Amino acid sequence: MTRRREFSKEVKRQAAERARGQCELCTARLGYGLYHYDHIIPDALGGEAVLGNCQVLCLTCHRAKTSQTDAPRIAKGRRQKDRALGIRPRKSIKRWRKFDGTPVIASDDR
């Protein structure tokens, strides 16, 4: 697993200057320490740690973007990567009945 790439201090300074003390999504006033530097394209999906991929968000907007947008996209990307590698979810059906009514119990190694 690769390490998360954080923004450099220079990128953070430039993004803060661009934002001019306001959230770049909702334009709320940003108080001291009440903001985050966010990857527009998440790092887990290949987003670089450059100024063009950085935005300054208030805590509320950052939390909403992460939970509603980023996390589902990252999970979908991992599922697609697993599928391409032939990794399948574990089978959850352990017992069933044949058409004639005889029970079947699956082994753990199927």
Is 4 a member of any domain? no
Domain span holding position 43: 9-105
For residue 21, give the nearest of 6, 34, 39 by alpha carbon: 34
The single-letter DSSP state of residue 11 is: H
Is 3 a member of any domain? no
Per the structure, the count of domains in the chain is: 1
Is 2 a member of any domain? no
Model confidence at 104: pLDDT above 80: yes
Is 99 a member of any domain? yes
Least confident of 57-71, 74-88, 92-106: 92-106
Mean pLDDT of 30-43: 94
Is 27 a member of any domain? yes
- Phi, psi (5° rounding) for residue 95? -140, 145
pTM score of the predicted model: 0.74
CATH code: domain of residue 41: 1.10.30
Model confidence at 16: pLDDT above 90: yes
Is 28 a member of any domain? yes
Is 1 a member of any domain? no
Give, in degrees to the nearest 5, the angle at Cα 34 between 30 and 40: 80
Is 110 a member of any domain? no
Within 8 A by CB and 6+ apart from 56, the residues are: 15, 16, 18, 19, 23, 24, 30, 35, 36, 37, 38
